[in-house]
Chains A and B, each alone.
Chain A
Amino acid sequence: MDVNQREEIFLQLSASLTGIAVSSFAPIDRGANIPGQIAKVGDLEARNSPIRLAPVYLQLLDSWNDGKAIEEALARTAAIKAPRTIQELINEFMQHAELGPLCKSIIKLWYLGVWYAPDQHGIASHVVSSQAYVESLVWKVMQAHPAGYSMGVFGHWSDIPPSLDSFVTIVK
């Protein structure tokens, strides 16, 4: 599995875990049909490019427990074949002693932009970055915006918020 495939599998797994389509939580990659393009996190900053969260989150997951858990989760996701569904696989993961907490950490990363080490239940380590905070799904699913940063135009607060599908696409 090369880095691009690996990120793609991670995005598929993340979509199933969050219930949100990939295009909603990896918008930079999926905006202009830009394919996965892995670069070091430091390089992305240096290039003044929009930050792509998937590589950053994968780096965090790789750093936990030598990356064995995320490697296993991705390998099993990549190997899935019909008629088995990814939802069945995730149900299995959630019962697993290591993969269950790992999946919960992935959900928290996308929804909150905060890193919770899987073996430190309920203890937030840190906000991953300002971009992770701004792009957190929690704001989008509540049809709102983070404190201190808004994409709405002047006066948006006096209008009914845009529909949920303006913010995210729900996986059916």
Chain B
Amino acid sequence: MEYMAEKPHHRTTINAIDGCVMNKAINASIALCLALFQSEVGAQSQDSTDLIPLRCDIPGDFFSPAKGNERTLDRLQHDFDIYSWETFIAINWPTISNGEPDKSLVIGSASNGDNHTCWEEWKSVLEVFLKDGAKPPEWDQESSLSAMLPIGKFEADKIDPNKDVLTADGKKSAGMTVNQAFNNPDYRFVNKIGKMHSWFANEQSLDSGPLVDRNGRYLRYEILINKDAFEYVVRNRLYSIQGQQDYIDTNRHFVFPSGSFKLADESKPFSDFEYDASVNNRRPVTKSDGAIILKAAWKELSEKEASSGRFHTRKTVVYTPMDSKNNTQEQSFRLVSLGLVGLHIVHKSSDVAQWNWSTFEHVDNCPDFSDRDRQFDGAGKRIEYSFFDPGSFHALGQLERERKLNIPPERPWTPDKIESELSRRTQVVRMTPKTPDVISLNEKFHAKFREVNVNSVWQYYDLVSTQWPTRPAGFGKPHGDKDGDVLKHSPADILGGPAPVFLANTVMETYIQGRTPNTSSSCMECHANALSKSGHFSDFTFILDRAK
């Protein structure tokens, strides 16, 4: 993997990692750990989860060591889930400031157990799809706030760059203007609140409403794309409506680049999902990352939460637009500590043309539906969640409390304020429990993080599941013919039989959990409807709809 150490970036630098200046002794011990991991794996069986090393390179594709009759649905699901964890680890690796991993560090090894991650240096879609279809700055160039304006869908949403950024409580100035905050690499910038395109876009029929945590704070979201996805968009001028139409006229279908592995011997025939794993211990060597699109969910942390050591945390300027329909009369910017509570990772790869759909959550988010009545843990301690309050749930009558589950607050929504009424804070429960295999896998990876650092914040994140196509487009074709063009290879079977059928993240698809066909959350089934601004199938991503 190449490094671009000198390239500047506007969001963050490794120097900004809190308490992450590591001395030589620590570096040496980590190098030793890494060496041990590597040597262990070389000596063991291929599918032993216990011995999967923490690695900073993104798996280019899905890979299963299982062959023939070993390839049951459960086994492939297990291997997809391992793939998801390996991807999560790679993209959350400490960065050298431009989105590339710092190989001298290990995820979560800093004294506070946290680190600035690679993906936080990727491009926000706000930086890519600009006003009037303008060309965005190159990958390694900084975006300017003025080029991104207006953020959101309405002209009324124009940002005043000279406006003061306020403190978290919104009561006084944080001592900087919006423009200064934007250009400060220590701070990130997040504005999205609702599930859909912008904040509370009333014309969005699918807007499922905001999520309010137990502290009365609204959740924030952002969408980012990696370098391969960004370069595909820019190279083909897909950031503009005219560029999209020109592309379709020439190429017929949008096809984002697929990640892939290097083949040990290009001349050898091989089967789908199978590669020569011997060249790099368990996993083949990545040839190209392919397009990756992320959606992250963040919550504003209270002081107690921020100091708990349980959240991946970033100082962030959160923006709330003016929205007279929701009684938000003035745009506001507040400097807050955001904690990561959900992460979708969507990755297109050579063998999985319909993309790999991985989703992670913070362990404190909410209980399973079946555990909603539990108020105390085994030690008699009151259970606390970020998005569920067992006490106030229990205080209501049976019928009323069931009605309150997974329901958004009624309008008006005021995301720059704290919702003081308990009844306006969302009571979230997980409707489809994680499988026992995923729970076991999560425990193994948590233990691995603790081996590096008992304080690692990453031990507090769980994989929910991975959705994948059981009949991926192009399956069974020679490697060279796997061009990722789903419409060409599977015009009558776009979805390719998703497994599991339904998948929801409780903080991103809160209100559409369940198992109702065509209604409940299924990553692939929903994203198969994604279109470009030019009105064409956009390869399972909604980002092209943002072109101007």
Contact = CB atoms under 8 A, between A and B. Distances in A.
Contacts of A155: 535-537
Interface string A19-50: 00000000110011111010000000001111
A31 B432 CA distance: 25
B496 interface: yes
B73 A34 contact: yes
Given A27-B471, A32-B472, A47-B435, A153 B492 contact: no
B494 interface: yes
A31 B71 contact: no
Given A32-B272, A162-B491, A48 B501 contact: yes
A167 interface: yes
B471 A151 contact: no
B497 A50 contact: yes
B491 A166 contact: yes
B502 to A, nearest CB: 6
A67 interface: no
Interface residues of B, number: 41
Interface string A132-172: 00100000100100001101111100000010001100000
B76 A32 contact: yes
A134 to B, nearest CB: 8
A95 interface: no
A120 interface: no
Contact of A34 (B470, B492, B498, B531): B470
Nearest to A153: B537
A85 interface: no
A125 interface: no
Majority-rule SS of B interface residues: loop
Interface in A25-81: 27-28, 31-35, 37, 47-51
B518 A154 contact: no
Given A35-B72, A152-B494, A48 B517 contact: no
Contact of B492 (A31, A48, A50, A162): A162
Contacts of B498: 50
B493 to A, nearest CB: 6
A143 to B, nearest CB: 8
A31 B273 CA distance: 12
Given A154-B529, A166-B490, A31 B496 contact: yes
B471 A31 contact: yes
Contacts of A134: 517
Interface in B521-541: 528-529, 531, 535-537
Interface string B473-506: 0010000000000010011111111111110000
Given A50-B470, A154-B535, A166-B490, A33 B499 contact: no
A154 B501 contact: no
A134 B528 CA distance: 17
- 10 A-B pairs with the lowest CB-CB distances in the bound complex, closest first: A31-B471, A162-B491, A31-B470, A153-B537, A48-B500, A166-B492, A167-B492, A162-B492, A37-B72, A35-B69
